[in-house]
C-alpha cells in the first residue's frame, strides 16, 4: 500500500542508482573512462560537469526553436490545393469566425467549410490569435473574403503562433517534467539535459505541428503539466491542467483513465476523503470556468436578439444529439439557447456519425478492414465493438496504476493507455499517434531512459510513427522534411537505420537482446523496402491503395508490439509479480 503523499517541496537529493538495477547513463562508468555512447551525447559532451543547467537550457531551447522554424519554411497541409485546402486553412478559418461572428454562432457557422469541431479552449485560442493577427493585417481574417488566403506574411504569422504557443505551454511543461522525473529516478543533471534535447527534437511532433500545421503541443503541454504536477504531489493543479487539455482537444481523453486511476489511487491508499472531494470540486469548477465564456456569450447574444442559426428560417429541426431531449424542453425558456449551444458543441466534438474511421490509419480496425469490410456492419455494432476492445486494452494498465499509484509508473501507464486508445478506439486519425508517442518519449528522462533497451523501444515507436504518417505528409509534398527530421533524430540517438548502437548491452539477457534486435530490424528493413517499392513501383489498377494498405498493416503490428512492451514493462516496474519473476526492486524508490 502506498504511503501518504510526500510534500511537494523536497530538498535536492544526490543522484542514486536508477530503479531496476540499471544505472543511469552518466553513472555506469568512472568519469575518466567515459566516452559518448551516441551522437547526441557527444554533441553535449563538452558541457558535462563544467556548465550549469541554466547555461545549457537556453542553448537547448534555441536549438529546438531553430529546427522548428526551419521546418516551417516548407509547405503545409492544403498549400495551393483547393477547394478546401487543408488543416492550415481550418486553423486560419477558425481565427476568422471567432473574431468576426457572435459567440453563439461559432459552432453553427457554415459547417461545410471547416466548421469548428474542437472544444472551447481551441476557440478561445483561435480568437486570441485572430485578434493579434488582425492588428497586423485585417485582411488575413476578413469574413468570407479571406478563404484560402496563403500570403507569405500570413504564413509567417501562422507559423509564429504555433512556435509561441508551444514555447508558452509545452516547452516549459517538458522542462519541469524532465527536471522532476530525472531527480525522482536518480538521473544526473547533465544526463537529464541530453534527454530533454531528445524529447524536444521528437520528429513526429515537429512534422505535424510545425510542418503539416496544427497546435497539438498546446494540448500535450497541458497533459505534461498535469503529469508533472502529479510528480510534485500537487493533485489539484494536476486536475486543472488536465481540464485544460480536454478543453483544447478532445483527444486528451486518451489519457483520462490514467489521470482518474492515479488520482483515485492517491485518494484511496490511504483513504483521504478531503483530497477526493477537493479534486472533484476543482475539476468541476475548472470545467465551469472553461464553459463560462461560451455560456455568457450565448446569453448575451440572445439578449441582443442574435440568432445562433440564422441560416434556418421558420422550422428549426432539433440537433442530431438533441432529438429525444428537445421535446421535453421549453424552447422559450432562458436556458434553452445554452442547452442547444452545449449540445451542438458536443455533437461537433464527438463525430460518431462519421463512422468507425474516415481515412486509413495504422490501427487495429483499419488493418482488419483489409480482410473484413467493416463498413457493411451496422454503426451501432462497430461502436460497441470499439468500446469493448478499447476497454479491454486500457483496463489492465489503469488497474495497476490504481492499486500501485507510484510516480515512476506514470509515463508507462499513460503510454500503455494511449496505445490502447489509438489501436482500438473509434474515429482515430493518423496524427493521433502523437498521443502515445509523447509519454513514451518522456521515458527517456527516467533512470533507464538513455540506456539501450528503453532507447531502442522509444526510438522504434517514434520512427515507426513517422513512417505511418508518410502517406499523409506525401499528399502535401512534405517528403523532404519527413526524411530529414526522422533520419536526424535516428542519428542523434544512435538508432537504425543510421546505427545499431542501441542494441546489445552488457548485463542483459542475450536472448532478449537478440529478440529485440531481430524484431526491430525486421520492421526497419520492411520500412526501408516499402519506401523503395512505393517510389519505384506503380500499384496495379485494381489495388490503387496497395502501398498505403501495407503501411497500415505493418504499422498496426508494430504499434501493438509497442503496447505489449509498455504493458509488460509496467507490470514488471509495478512489483505486482512475485519476486521470482524478476529482479528484486527497492520499493522505496518506486514512490
pLDDT category at 14 given cuts 50, 70, 90 is very low
pTM of the model: 0.91
Each residue's pLDDT tens digit, 466-512: 999 999 999 999 999 999 999 999 999 999 999 988 887 766 677 87
Q: Going by C-beta distance under 8 Å and a sequence separation of 6 or more, which residues neighbour residue 346?
A: 321
Each residue's pLDDT tens digit, 369-426: 888 888 788 888 888 999 999 999 999 999 999 999 999 999 999 999 999 999 999 8
Question: Does the pLDDT of residue 591 top 60, yes or no?
Answer: no
The predicted structure's pLDDT at residue 7: 44
The predicted structure's pLDDT at residue 324: 64
In this prediction, residues 133-154 reach a mean pLDDT of 94
Yes or no: say if 175 and 57 are a contact pair by the CB < 8 Å rule. Answer: yes
Phi first, then psi: what are they for 509, rounded to 5°? Answer: -60, 125
In this prediction, residues 84-105 reach a mean pLDDT of 95
The predicted structure's pLDDT at residue 6: 46
Which is higher by pLDDT, 230 or 313?
A: 230
Provide the angle, in degrees to the nearest 10, between the axes of the packed helices 189-200 and 434-442. Answer: 170
Lowest-pLDDT choice from 198-207, 344-353, 560-569: 344-353
The predicted structure's pLDDT at residue 132: 98
- How far apart are the C-alpha atoms of 216 and 133, rounded to whole Å? 20
| Residues above pLDDT 90, as percent of the chain | 68
| Residues above pLDDT 70, as percent of the chain | 88
Question: Does the pLDDT of residue 120 top 60, yes or no?
Answer: yes
The predicted structure's pLDDT at residue 26: 37
Yes or no: say if 493 and 468 are a contact pair by the CB < 8 Å rule. Answer: no
Tell the residue number behind the cell numbers 482500438, with chain if given. Answer: 424
The predicted structure's pLDDT at residue 247: 97
Each residue's pLDDT tens digit, 355-364: 666 677 899 9
Give the chain's mean pLDDT. Answer: 88
Yes or no: say if 22 and 572 are a contact pair by the CB < 8 Å rule. Answer: no
The predicted structure's pLDDT at residue 319: 65
Yes or no: say if 507 and 18 are a contact pair by the CB < 8 Å rule. Answer: no
In this prediction, residues 537-560 reach a mean pLDDT of 94
Question: Does the pLDDT of residue 107 top 80, yes or no?
Answer: yes
Closest CA to 441 of 181, 191, 202: 202
Cell numbers for 93, please give them: 478559418
Which one of 255-269, 376-390, 575-589 scores highest in mean pLDDT? 255-269
Lowest-pLDDT choice from 160-164, 322-326, 403-407, 554-558: 322-326
Lowest-pLDDT choice from 286-295, 496-505, 581-590: 581-590
The predicted structure's pLDDT at residue 504: 79
Question: Does the pLDDT of residue 284 top 60, yes or no?
Answer: yes
Which is higher by pLDDT, 339 or 134?
A: 134
CA-CA distances (angstroms) from residue 213 to 159, 265, 545? 8, 38, 25
Q: Going by C-beta distance under 8 Å and a sequence separation of 6 or more, which residues neighbour residue 144?
A: none
The predicted structure's pLDDT at residue 317: 65
- How far apart are the C-alpha atoms of 581 and 352, rounded to whole Å? 44
Question: Does the pLDDT of residue 5 top 70, yes or no?
Answer: no
In this prediction, residues 129-153 reach a mean pLDDT of 95
Tell the residue number behind the cell numbers 486511476, with chain if given. Answer: 261
Cell numbers for 321, please give them: 444529439
Yes or no: say if 215 and 125 are a contact pair by the CB < 8 Å rule. Answer: yes
Concatenate the DSSP letters of all residues of 72-101 into one string. Answer: TTS--TTTT-TTT--HHHHHHHHHHHHHHS
Yes or no: say if 363 and 386 are a contact pair by the CB < 8 Å rule. Answer: no
Concatenate the DSSP letters of all residues of 490-523 into one string. Answer: HHHTT-TTT--TTS--TTS-HHHHHHHHHHHHHH
Amino acid at each position: 500500500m502506498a504511503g501518504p503523499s510526500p510534500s511537494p517541496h523536497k530538498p535536492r537529493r544526490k543522484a542514486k542508482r536508477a530503479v531496476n538495477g540499471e544505472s543511469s547513463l552518466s553513472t555506469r562508468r568512472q568519469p575518466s573512462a567515459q566516452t559518448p555512447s551516441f551522437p547526441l551525447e557527444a554533441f553535449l559532451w563538452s558541457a558535462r560537469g563544467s556548465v550549469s543547467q541554466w547555461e545549457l537550457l537556453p542553448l537547448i531551447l534555441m536549438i529546438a526553436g531553430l529546427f522548428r522554424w526551419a521546418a516551417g519554411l516548407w509547405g503545409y497541409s492544403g498549400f495551393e490545393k483547393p477547394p478546401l485546402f487543408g488543416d492550415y486553412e481550418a486553423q486560419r478559418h477558425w481565427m476568422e469566425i471567432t473574431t468576426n461572428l457572435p459567440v453563439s454562432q461559432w459552432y453553427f457557422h457554415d459547417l461545410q467549410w471547416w466548421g469548428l469541431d474542437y472544444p472551447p479552449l481551441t476557440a478561445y485560442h483561435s480568437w486570441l490569435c485572430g485578434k493579434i493577427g488582425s492588428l497586423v493585417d485585417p485582411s488575413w481574417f476578413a469574413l468570407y473574403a479571406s478563404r484560402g488566403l496563403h500570403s507569405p506574411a500570413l504564413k509567417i504569422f501562422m507559423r509564429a503562433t504555433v512556435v509561441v504557443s508551444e514555447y508558452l505551454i509545452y516547452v516549459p511543461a517538458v522542462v519541469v517534467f524532465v527536471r522532476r522525473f530525472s531527480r525522482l529516478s536518480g538521473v544526473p543533471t547533465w544526463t537529464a539535459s541530453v534527454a530533454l534535447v531528445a524529447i524536444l527534437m521528437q520528429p513526429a511532433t515537429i512534422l505535424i505541428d510545425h510542418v503539416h500545421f496544427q497546435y497539438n503541443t498546446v494540448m500535450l503541454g497541458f497533459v505534461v503539466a498535469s503529469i508533472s504536477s502529479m510528480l510534485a504531489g500537487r493533485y489539484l493543479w494536476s486536475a486543472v491542467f488536465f481540464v485544460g487539455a480536454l478543453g483544447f482537444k478532445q483527444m486528451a481523453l486518451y489519457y483520462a483513465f490514467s489521470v482518474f486511476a492515479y488520482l483515485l489511487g492517491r485518494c484511496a491508499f490511504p483513504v483521504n476523503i478531503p483530497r477526493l472531494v477537493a479534486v472533484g470540486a476543482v475539476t468541476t469548477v475548472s470545467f465551469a470556468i472553461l464553459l463560462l465564456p461560451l455560456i455568457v456569450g450565448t446569453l448575451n447574444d440572445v439578449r441582443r436578439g442574435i440568432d445562433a442559426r440564422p441560416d434556418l428560417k421558420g422550422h428549426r429541426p432539433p440537433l442530431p444529439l438533441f432529438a429525444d431531449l428537445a421535446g421535453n424542453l421549453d424552447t422559450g425558456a432562458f436556458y434553452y439557447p445554452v442547452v442547444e449551444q452545449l449540445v451542438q458543441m458536443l455533437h461537433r466534438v464527438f463525430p460518431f456519425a462519421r463512422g468507425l474511421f474516415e481515412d486509413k490509419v495504422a490501427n487495429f480496425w483499419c488493418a482488419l478492414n483489409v480482410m473484413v469490410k467493416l463498413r457493411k456492419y451496422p454503426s451501432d455494432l462497430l461502436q460497441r465493438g470499439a468500446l469493448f476492445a478499447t476497454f479491454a486494452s486500457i483496463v489492465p494498465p489503469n488497474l495497476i496504476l490504481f492499486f500501485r499509484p507510484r510516480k515512476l509508473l506514470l509515463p508507462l501507464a499513460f503510454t500503455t493507455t494511449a496505445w490502447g486508445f489509438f489501436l482500438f478506439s473509434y474515429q482515430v486519425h493518423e496524427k493521433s499517434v502523437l498521443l502515445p508517442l509523447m509519454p513514451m518519449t518522456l521515458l527517456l528522462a527516467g533512470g533507464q531512459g538513455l540506456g539501450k533497451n528503453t532507447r531502442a523501444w522509444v526510438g522504434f515507436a517514434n520512427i515507426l510513427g513517422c513512417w505511418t504518417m508518410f502517406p499523409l505528409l506525401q499528399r502535401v509534398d512534405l517528403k523532404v522534411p519527413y526524411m530529414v527530421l526522422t533520419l536526424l533524430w535516428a542519428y542523434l540517438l544512435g538508432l537504425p537505420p543510421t546505427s545499431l548502437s542501441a542494441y546489445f548491452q552488457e548485463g542483459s539477457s542475450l536472448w532478449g537482446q537478440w529478440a529485440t534486435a531481430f524484431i526491430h530490424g525486421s520492421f526497419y528493413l520492411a520500412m526501408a523496402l516499402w519506401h523503395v517499392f512505393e517510389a519505384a513501383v506503380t500499384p496495379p489498377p485494381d489495388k490503387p491503395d496497395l502501398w498505403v494498405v501495407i503501411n497500415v498493416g505493418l504499422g498496426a503490428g508494430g504499434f501493438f508490439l509497442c503496447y505489449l512492451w509498455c504493458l509488460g514493462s509496467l507490470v514488471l516496474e509495478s512489483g505486482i509479480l512475485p519476486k521470482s519473476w524478476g529482479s528484486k526492486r527497492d520499493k522505496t524508490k518506486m514512490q
